[in-house]
Structure 1
Amino acid sequence: MNLNDPCAIADPSWIKPGISAWDHWWSGEVKVDNETIRQYIDLAAEMGWPYQLIDWQWYGMFNKPEADITKVAPQLDMPGLLAYAKSKNVRCWVWIYYTDVNRADWDKACALYESWGIAGVKIDFMDSDDQEMVNWYHRIVMTAAKHHLMVDFHGAYKPDGFRRTYPNLVTREGVMGNEYNKWSLRVTPEHMVTLPFTRMLAGPMDFTPGGFLNRTPEKFVNGTPAQVQGTRALQLAQFVVYDSPFMVACDSPKNYKGQDGTEFLKKVKTMWDDTKILNGQVGEFITSARRSGNDWFIGSMTNSEARTLEIKLDFLNDGKYQMVAFEDAPDADINAEKVIRTARTITKGDIIQIKMAPGGGFAAYLVPVK
C-alpha cells in the first residue's frame, strides 16, 4: 500500500462506503426489467443500504461489437429508475464488460454516468495482470475519479495498493466468492476461513456475502436458486471478518424478507475505526472485532468442525454495552438456516463463549448503554 503515491484526489469526501443490493442472477437467471430493479431498490431502502447495483444487460447484450455503454436497453426506463432510487435515498451502480469500455469513449461515458447520478461502476472479465492491463486499470480509475465515480473491478487481479492514490477504487473481486456456489463445490467452510489469512491480506475483496439459502455441505447442491455452504450465522459473520468498503449483499429480496439475521445486516458497517483479531488459525477459525464510532461488531467463523471459543472483551471502553448476537441454533448442523438471536448486557473484560456448528459462525453488534 505505502509503495503507492499518496492520495491524488484533492477532495475525496464524495467517496462513500456502504452495502449494496444486487440484482444479479444469484437467485434466478438475469431479469433486466423495471419491476425487478425497483424490487432491489426497495430492498436497499428497507435495509438502510445506500446502493443498488444494476448488473449485466442494462445496456443490452455485452461484449459485442454493437454494444454501447451509453445506450440503455429499450425495456428499461433508466431516468425513472434513478428517480425512484433517489426518492428512496438509494444511489445506483452499473455493471460494464471491459471490452465494451474499450470500444467507448470512456471519458464521455463517465461524464454521462455522472450526469445521471450514478455512484460507481463495476467492470468485469479483464482476467489479466500483465503490464498493459495494469496500465488500463489505472487509466479507468483515474478517469472515473474525475467524474466522481467509484470503481469495483471483477474478473480482477489481486490488489496492489493503488487505492491509496485513488481511493475511489473501493474494492475488487480477485477471489473465489459466493458467486461460485452457482456452479462449484469449492466455496467450502475451509476456503472461507482461509481467505482472511491469504487473499484478504492484499486488500479489500468483493466476496459478495449474505447468502440466506444456507445448507450443510452434505445437503448443498449447485443450481438456481443458488445456495451457500455453511450456516446463516457464518454468512452474517463475513460482513465483519471480510474487508470491503463497498460490500455487495448477494441474495434476493424474497430470501431476506422476514428472515432471522436481517437485523444484523441493517446494523453492520463497511468502514472501521479500529480492528482487533481476537483469535485465528489458517483454514480453521477466526474471530474479528471491528469498531465504527462507539459501536463494536464481532464476527467469528469456523471450518467444517464444530467449535467452542472463548473471547475476552478487553478491547471495549469502560461502561456497559448491549450485545445483540446471532448464533448457530442447536440444530444448525441439520438446518443451516437456523440462527438464534440473544441480547444481554456486557462490560469490558467479560468473557463470552461462542459455540459454532460445523461450518458455523457468530455475529454480534455491541452498543454502549446510555
Structure 2
Amino acid sequence: MKYFLTSFLVLTLSMGYSQSIQSPSGKISVNFKLTSNGQASYSVNYNSKPVILESFLGVKLKNKPALDANFGIDSVKNSSFNESWKPVLGEQSIIVNHYNELIISLTQKETHVKMNIIFRVFDEGIAFRYDFPKQKDLNYFIISDEVSQFNLTGDHKVFWIPGDFDSNEYPYNETKFSGIDNDKVDLNNGIAAKSIAEKYNVQSPLMMKTATGLYLNVFEAAVVNYPVMHLKADVNDFKLTSVLVPNAIGDKAYLQTPCVSPWRTIMVSDDARDIVGSKMILNLNEPCKIDDTSYIKPMKYVGIWWEMHVGKSTWDYAGSQNAQNNLNQDLVASGKHGATTENTKRYIDFASKNGFDGVLVEGWNVGWEDWFGNWKEEVFDFTTPYPDFDIAAISAYAKSKNVKMIMHSETSGSVGNFERHLDRDFENMVKYNYPAVKTGYVGKIIPRGEFHDGQTMVNHFNYVARRAADYKLMVNSHESSRPTGYGRTYPNYIAAEAARGTEFNAWSVGNPPMHETILPFTRLLGGPMDYTPGIFEIKMSHYNPDKTEQVHTTLAKQLALYVTMYSPLQMAADLPENYEKYPDAFQFIKDVAVDWQDSKYLEAEPGDYLTVVRKAKNSEKWFLGAITDENARKSEIKLDFLTKEKKYKAIIYEDAKDADWKNNPIAYKISTLEVTSKSKIKLNLAPGGGTAISFEPIN
C-alpha cells in the first residue's frame, strides 16, 4: 500500500527559514535550516536529544560557483510513503518501506541555478540527497567536491577502516573517534593495491556508539554514476565531512541534469539490533528493473579456490618462473595446476553427492602466469581454457550430475580489456551453461590512474550487472566498491566481496575474531557478502608445518557464519577431503538454507557478538547462528520465534568446553533437543567461537 500526504509552500521570505520532519514513529526528527547567508544545514534528534548537531550541506563545481550558499527557497514539499515489496532473494520475503519526505527547492540568487535537497526519515534513520533538475542555467557540470557534514555530539566509539580509494579489505579498528589515525594502521596486511590519500580519512559505512548507548551509522545508498563517499574525520571537533574519490585527473563526478547524488544516510537507535536488521539502504534504491527474474536463484557451492590459497595447487598452468623462461614457447605444465579436468570432476562429484548447486573453478583460463603486479592491459581473453581444462567435457559432466558451473573472470584490474571482451565472456557462459560469474579486480586499475572507488569503476560494476541481466546471468564481484543497495534494482547482482574475506587468513595476519561481528553492521548493510566461510582445517600448519597462519575462529563459528553473514550465494570454502573428515559438522552446511522467509536479530553488539535466527523460505525450518569476538560468552535465548503448538528437533553445533580459536579451534560437540516456542536454549561460546542450530519440525 502506498499513500501520499503532500503540501507545497511557496516562500517569499526565505532567509533564516527552518523546517522539521519526523519519522513515522516520531522518534527521529530532522530540522532543516537556511541561514541568513542562504547556507543550507540540517540537524538530527533521537527521542528529542541531539545526535547530529547543525551540519552544513552543499556541493562545489569545477569552473562554476559553488552550490553551498546564497540560496533562496522556492518551495517546500512534505509527503509520506508506505509500501511493502518482495525481494527476489533476501533475508525476508517482504520488506516494508515507510518514510516521511521533505523536499526543499532552492535557487541560488546570483547564478539562478536550482538544486533540491531531499530528506527521507525512516524509523531507523534519515537520508538526504542533492537533486539537480533540468534547467537552462545548469546542464553539463563537474563535481569538484561535496561538502556534506555530519557533526557528532562527542568522542564516540568507532569501528573504522582507512579511507583507501583502492581497497576495502582491511581489518577494523575499534577506537574512540579521536583515535582515528591512518598512520597507526599496519599496512603489512596482504592487500594488493593501496591508495590512502589522507591521515584522517575513513571509509563508510562508519559504525559508532555513543557514551550514552546510542548506535550511529553513517553510510550511503544508491551510488549510481557517482564516486564512492569516504569521510574526513576532524578528530578534535568530532566532525565528519564527505570525501569523494577522484578520477585520474582529480575530478569527482561528470553529470548532466536532470540527475541526483547518492543518498547520504544516518542510522540511529538505542538498540543495535535495529541497525543490523535495517533495510533502509535497500529501500533507498530503485525497484527491480528486470522483467524476468526466474533465473535468479540462490546457490550453495564448492570450488577450486581454497586449495590455491593454502598452497596445495596454483592458479597458473606453468608457474610464473617457468613462463618467464619460455616467453616465446608453448607453456609447460608445472604439475601443480588446480583447474584440471580431473580435479574439476572430483569437485562436481562432491557437489552432486552432497546436494550443492554449483562448482566454482579459478585458474581455468590462460593468462595467470603473467597476471599480477605488472599493470599489464591485455592479460586475459576470458574464453580460452588451459590445455588441461576441457570446458566442453566439464560442462557436459556437470549437467549429467545436475550441478551448475560458476564462471571465474579475473580482470587483473584491466577494466577496459574486460569490457572489450565482456560479451564474448557472457556468450561463452551461455554456451556452456554457466548461470553465474565471479568477477575479480585485484591490483591497480587500468585505465591507469583510476581508483576502484571512483565514478568510472562504480559505473563499470553496475554496467556488468546490467549487461549480465541481458544474458540472464548472475554476478558476484570481488575487489569491487562496496554495494549500496543496487541489488534491489538489479537482483542478478547476487553478491559481492568488497571487504576483507576469509582468504586473508591463509597467507597474512588474517582477520581478528571480532571481524565477523562488525561486518553485519557495516559492509552487509549494502548487500550480501560472499565471505566464503566453512573452513574446518583452521591452522595452515596442516598444509605446511612451517606456516603459523590460521583462521581466527573455532570450527563451530565457521558453521554459525552461514547464518550471521547473509548471502544467497554461499560457499563451502574448504577442501572436500577436509569435510569428509568431519561429516557430522559438515551436515549443518548441507542443511542450512540460503534464501529466507524471515530473519530476527536476537542479540547484537558491534565488535562483540551477534545472534540471528532465520526461517527458510517455503519451509518450517529455522536456523540460528551465534558468534562472539575473542571473548567467551554465555547467554540464553527464547525460542518464541518458533511456530506455536509445534514441536521441533533442535540440532546444536557448538564449541566444546575446551575449545578456543587459537589453541583448540576444532573442538566441537553436537547434541539434539526437542523444543517448542516456549523453550529456552543456553548458548556457550568459546573465545572466537560460535553456535549453529537447525530447528526441524517434528511431524
Query: Which residue of the partner structure matches residue 476 of structure 2?
Result: 152
Give me the whole-angstrom Cα distance separating, in 2, the residues matched to 1:338 and 1:66: 44
Question: How many angstroms does 1:57 deviate by?
Answer: 4.0
Give, in angstroms, the shift of residue 69 of structure 1. Answer: 1.1
Give the partner amino acid of 2:682. Answer: Q
1:12-68 CA distance string (max 9 Å, x none) = 011111211020114423212112212221222222110111113434436462532
How far apart are residue 254 of structure 1 and its match? 1.1
Q: 1:111 aligns with which of 412, 424, 427?
A: 427
1:294 alignment partner in structure 2: 620
Mapped to 2, the partners of 1:203 and 1:223 lie a distance apart of 38
Task: Name the amino acid aligned to 2:458.
Answer: V
Deviations 1:179-219 (A, max 9, x none): 10122224111112121222222221111101111259xx9
Partner of 2:651: 324
Match of residue 124, structure 1, among 440, 448, 452: 440
Equivalent AA in structure 2 for residue 250 of structure 1: A
Match for residue 313 of structure 2 among 25, 29, 35: 29
SS of the aligned residue for 1:170 comes to strand
CA contact 1:295–1:367 (8 Å) conserved in 2:
yes
Q: Distance in 2 between matches of 1:330 and 1:79?
A: 50
Distance in 2 (alpha carbons) for counterparts of 1:17 and 1:225: 35
Structure with the larger strand share: 2
1:309-343 superposed Cα distances (whole Å, 9 cap, x missing partner): 10000111011001111011122124211211111
**8 Å contact kept, 1:17–1:246:** yes
Q: Which amino acid aligns with 1:72?
A: P
From the superposition, tell whether residues 359 and 226 of structure 1 become closer, same or farther in structure 2 (CA, over 3 Å): same
Which one of the candidate residues 636, 639, 642 is aligned to 1:313?
A: 639
Q: 1:304 and 2:630 equivalent? A: yes
2:357 alignment partner in structure 1: 50
Tell me which residue corresponds to 1:81: 394
Matches within 5 A, 1:15-26: 15-24=296-305, 25-26=308-309
Does the aligned pair in 1 maintain the 2:439–2:478 contact within 8 Å? yes
Candidates 543, 566, 571, aligned match of 1:248: 571
Deviation, 1:137, is 1.4
Q: For residue 5 of structure 1, report the CA deviation from its aligned partner.
A: 2.2
Distance 1:103 1:271, change over 3 A: closer
Equivalent in 77, 95, 102 of residue 418 of structure 2: 102
Q: Using a 3 Å threshold, how does the CA distance of structure 1 residues 226 and 41 change in structure 2: closer, same or farther?
A: farther
DSSP 3-state at the match of 1:273:
strand
2:530 and 2:570 in contact (8 A); partners too: yes
Q: Which moved more, 1:109-118 or 1:164-173?
A: 109-118
Per-residue CA deviation, residues 266-285 of structure 1 (Å, 9 max, x unaligned), is 10111111000111211111
Task: Give the gaps of 5 or more residues in structure 2.
Answer: 1-281, 315-337, 443-450
Specify the code of the residue in structure 1 equivalent to 2:472.
H
List per-residue Cα deviations over 1:260-316 (Å, max 9, x = no partner). 410001101111110001112111111110000211000001111111110000111
AA aligned to 2:353 is: E
Could you tell me how far apart the structure 1 residues matched to 2:313 and 2:517 are? 29
Check the 8 A contact 1:215/1:230 in 2, yes or no.
Answer: no
**What 5-or-longer segments of structure 1 have no aligned partner?**
none
- The 2-side partners of 1:32 and 1:299 are apart by 33
Task: Tell which deviates more after alignment, 51-60 or 164-173.
Answer: 51-60
Distance 2:379 2:299 in 1: 34
Residue identity opposite 1:97 in structure 2: E
1:1-370 residue pairs with structure 2 within 5 A? Answer: 1-24=282-305, 25-27=308-310, 28-30=312-314, 31-61=338-368, 63=371, 65=378, 67-98=380-411, 99=414, 102=418, 104-125=420-441, 128-214=452-538, 227-259=550-582, 260-292=584-616, 293-318=619-644, 319-333=646-660, 334-370=663-699
**Residues 133-157 of structure 1, C-alpha deviations (whole Å, 9 max, x = no match):** 1111122111111111110000111
Higher relative contact order (CA 8 A, sep 6+): 1
The share of aligned pairs that are identical, in percent, is: 36
| In structure 1, C-alpha distance between the alignment counterparts of 2:650 and 2:539, rounded to whole Å | 27
TM-score, length of structure 2 as denominator length: 0.50
Counterparts of 1:254 and 1:275, CA distance in 2:
33
Say if 2:364 and 2:389, in contact at 8 Å, map to a contact too: no
Query: What per-residue deviation string (whole Å, max 9, x for no partner) do you get for residues 67-116 of structure 1?
Result: 32122222111111111111111101111123275264322321221121
Q: Once the two structures are superposed, what CA deviation does each residue of 1:244-271 show, in whole Å capped at 9, x if it has no partner?
A: 1111221111111130410001101111
Q: Which amino acid aligns with 2:386?
A: A
TM-score (norm 1): 0.93
CA contact (8 A) 1:285 1:303 kept: yes
CA contact (8 A) 1:60 1:72 kept: no
CA RMSD of aligned residues (A): 2.3
Change (3 A) 1:174 1:329: same
Distance 2:486 2:609 in 1: 30
From the two aligned structures, give the one with the greater helix fraction. Answer: 1
What is the DSSP-based 3-state SS (H/G/I as helix, E as strand, rest coil) of the residue aligned with 1:301?
A: strand
Q: 2: distance between equivalents of 1:332 and 1:66?
A: 46
Aligned 8 A contact 2:340 2:364 in 1: no
Amino acid at match of 2:385: V
Superposed displacement of residue 222, structure 1: 11
Contact 1:171 1:245 in 2 (8 A): yes
SS of equivalent residue, structure 2 residue 288: coil
Paired residue total: 368
